[in-house]
Amino acid sequence: AYLGTHDQAVSKTLRILHRYGDWGTAIPSEEEAESHPYRQVLWPLKNQSEFMAEVQCDWVHTVPVMAKMDEPTNSPIGLQTIPRSFSKSGDGTKDGVFSLRQTGLIDLQDGTPVAVTIMVNNKTGDKEATRDALTTLAKTVASQAKGFARPSC
C-alpha cells in the first residue's frame, strides 16, 4: 500500500507501532533512509517479538496483513518452513556482514502459539549459508521451545 510522502509514511508506521504498544522503535530520517520508512524500522529483536505477540491478539484487524506476510515462495526459509506460521523477513549487508532476521508467529510442538524473532549474522557474507542457518534456528526453536503460556488476549 502506498503510504504517501516520507513524513506521512513515518507517521502511519509509528501510529501502528504505538497502537500495539511499541513506543521505543525509531525510523530513520528521510536523509538516512535507504528505502520506504516501513522497511527501515530500527527494531530491537525484543520489540519485534512483543509487537507480533500483540498483533496475534487483534486478528480482526491484522489477518489481511498477516496473510500477505507469508505469500508463497519457491524457496521458504526460516520460520516460513514451519507449518501454520506467519513471518516477515528482512536482510542487509553492513561492513561485509550479511544479516538476516525474521519475525513471526509459530505454533510450538505442544500447539502453543508464540511470537518469535530470530536473527543470523554471517561475517563471510555468504547469503545461502545464512539462510540455511536461519532455517536451522527456526526449526530448533519450533521443536525445542517449551513452557510458554498461551496468549492472554
Report the pLDDT averaged over residues 12-37.
73
User: pLDDT for 29-78, tens place per residue?
Assistant: 666 656 555 555 667 888 888 888 888 888 777 777 677 666 667 789 99
User: DSSP string covering 57-124, please?
Assistant: T-HHHHHHHHHHHT---SS--GGGGSTT-EEEEEEEEETTEEEEEEEEEEE-TTS-EEEEEEEEEETT
pLDDT exceeding 90 applies to what percent of the chain?
A: 29
Top pLDDT among 122 and 15 is at: 122
